[in-house]
Amino acid sequence: MAHADRSAVAQGGTLHWAVDAVPTTLNAFAADASPATTLADEALLPTLFTLDAAGKASVDQDYLQSADQVSASPQTVVYTLNPKAVWSDGKPLGVADFAGQWHALSGADPAFGAAGAAHADGYDSIASVAAGAKPNQVKVVFAHPYAPWRSLFAPLYPAAATASPQAFTDGLKSTLAADAGPFTLKGAPGVDGQNTLTVARNPRWWGDRAKLDAIAFTAVAPGDAASALASHRVDVADLSRAADDSGNTPDATSGTEVLRASAPGYLALAFNGGTGLLADPQVRRAVADAVDRQALADAVLKPLNLPAVPLGNHLLMEDQQGYQDDAAALGASAATAAKLLDAAGWRLGAHSDAASGATRINGTKPLALTLLTRAGSARDAALAKLLTAQLAKVGVGLTTKPVPEADFFTKHVAAGDFDLALVTWPASRFPVADERALFAKPQVNSDGSLTVGQNLSGTGTDEIDSLLGQAVAATNPSDATRLTNEADVRIWQAAPSLPLFQSPQLVGIRSNVRNAGAFGFAVPRFQDIGFAAQK
């Protein structure tokens, strides 16, 4: 981060912020919401809680005077709103906004569609939303305990945006009924013909006045981000994808600098345990054991001058509170992998050994797998080469299948058309809140088919479901952390995926930009972002 006190930031100017594409919706809960949606919403809408670089949540005093759990049985949370907080139409933030969002996202009304159903976790635990005992208070009572309650109502939408399914879906594609951030929406995305979404200083904002006049979120293809920054067409650009695709560290040019952090997400080797050879848990575990995660981390992170540390947890990132390295539950080694494969009936030929590259067979069937990668990604190509060599040492054949990025997830990973895949997962800022569905045991339908939901591996156990459910319900933070890590140990043992390392985040900025950069888990404080004041 290029940190500076507000006094050192000039008043005025427009910051051009590169995004992969202008958002197609301002609904953060919609299926087509993008990172650009999140950025714009953070500038325009109430966040209730701020997060630091370690993901620690604190009350955002611009919106809340306090937020406290006042009862454990039933779990009851009272939000005391800042009385100065108003929407751009002049209405104060209040209980109607909270109640409307609860209704839209609880899953109780199917008319709200996929957005409501996909984000029901937490909202479906709420029993009531009502006015509190004092002015400016909202009281939320839970039917079932929900530990990460601070993740709810973020961002908070005005009641008009959740008044009907139509308002919540189509109504949020290009506009907001009202906003309440340091910036306000200036026209629809792309309305000026420049393929930008522009937000301007909010004249109704009651907090610290935004330093910038406006921010123009400008669509720049990832491959062009570095040149756009170097030519000063944009002032801020995420260069992580440029490094990924080229395999090189983006260089700072005259008037720019590159800032680095670990992103709030990680790269994993996903296993398709629903069908094919990896449906056998012993084979899946053996493949996981055969992977040298340190070598993979070295290959990607060392050239970027980032610590090459393999990630040891599926649910918590290394810079989050409560993180522990649970990888020992796997006991990874080539020797262990070979023993598991032998026991599962996958044998090397009588006159061959794994070191010679021989592929194991079971009867006449070869142990040959396909690795799905993104075409054009130098990172994926480098990792595929290493993985091929590592698995060959234990007699597992691996063929790389590069596919266009546009098809990678929808046509292959989500469709179950893969054996192994290099997949980037976002980390939850409120652990387990968003991750439980990724590891939930698939449901068996009446015809014997499986409904896997968001669990792309198609595997799971009742024990993992139980531990994750207990972690979500544990309102004592230490209990929640303990249960989260117990669940993670079981996930390692089931091997639905293999965490490799936290994704690198490289952000280029103009040298005179202040309070922007590689945010990691932190939420930007948009009112403090701007250009250096002239001395």
Which whole-number Å values give the CA distances from 105 to 152, 165, 176, in the listed order?
10, 11, 18
**pLDDT of the residue at 9:** 98
Partner residues linked to 507 by β-bridges? 238, 259
**pLDDT of the residue at 191:** 46
User: Average pLDDT of 262-277?
Assistant: 93
**pLDDT of the residue at 131:** 98
Determine contact, residues 413/425, Cβ cutoff 8 Å.
no
**pLDDT of the residue at 192:** 47
In angstroms, the CA 285 to CA 95 distance is: 50
User: Average pLDDT of 419-443?
Assistant: 88
Confidence of residue 435 (pLDDT cuts 50, 70, 90): confident
Question: What counts of helices (H) and strands (E) characterise the chain?
Answer: 14, 22
Q: CB 73: neighbour CB atoms within 10 A?
A: 8
User: Average pLDDT of 258-266?
Assistant: 90
Which of 192-201, 404-413, 496-505 holds the top average pLDDT?
496-505
How do residues 346-402 score in pLDDT, each as one tens digit?
A: 998 755 555 556 899 999 999 999 999 999 999 999 999 999 999 999 999 999 999
Confidence of residue 304 (pLDDT cuts 50, 70, 90): confident
Residue in this structure with the two tokens 């985040």, named with its chain if needed: 505
Helix (H) / strand (E) containing 443 = strand 443-444
Sequence-distant (≥ 6) Cβ neighbours of residue 500 within 8 angstroms? 266, 267, 268, 269, 293, 296, 297, 310, 311, 383
- Identify the architecture of domain 264-503 in CATH: Roll (3.10)
Residue range 46-171, CATH number: 3.90.76.10
Tell me the percentage of the chain whose pLDDT exceeds 70: 95
How do residues 228-252 score in pLDDT, each as one tens digit?
A: 999 999 999 999 988 888 777 777 7
In the chain, domain spans = 1-20+182-255+511-535, 46-171, 264-503
Tell me the percentage of the chain whose pLDDT exceeds 90: 72
Domains 1-20+182-255+511-535 and 264-503 equal at CATH topology level: no
How do residues 151-184 score in pLDDT, each as one tens digit?
A: 999 999 999 999 999 999 889 988 999 999 999 9
**pLDDT of the residue at 393:** 95
How do residues 20-59 score in pLDDT, each as one tens digit?
A: 999 989 999 988 888 899 999 999 999 999 998 888 899 9
User: Average pLDDT of 303-310?
Assistant: 89
Strand ranges (DSSP E) for 213-325? Answer: 214-219, 236-238, 256-271
The mean predicted confidence, pLDDT, of the chain is 91
User: Average pLDDT of 505-526?
Assistant: 94
Confidence of residue 103 (pLDDT cuts 50, 70, 90): very high
Q: Select from 48, 26, 29, 50 the least CA-distant residue to 39.
A: 26
3-state secondary structure 182-208: CEEECCCCCCCCCCEEEEEECCCCCCC
Residue range 1-20+182-255+511-535, CATH number: 3.40.190.10
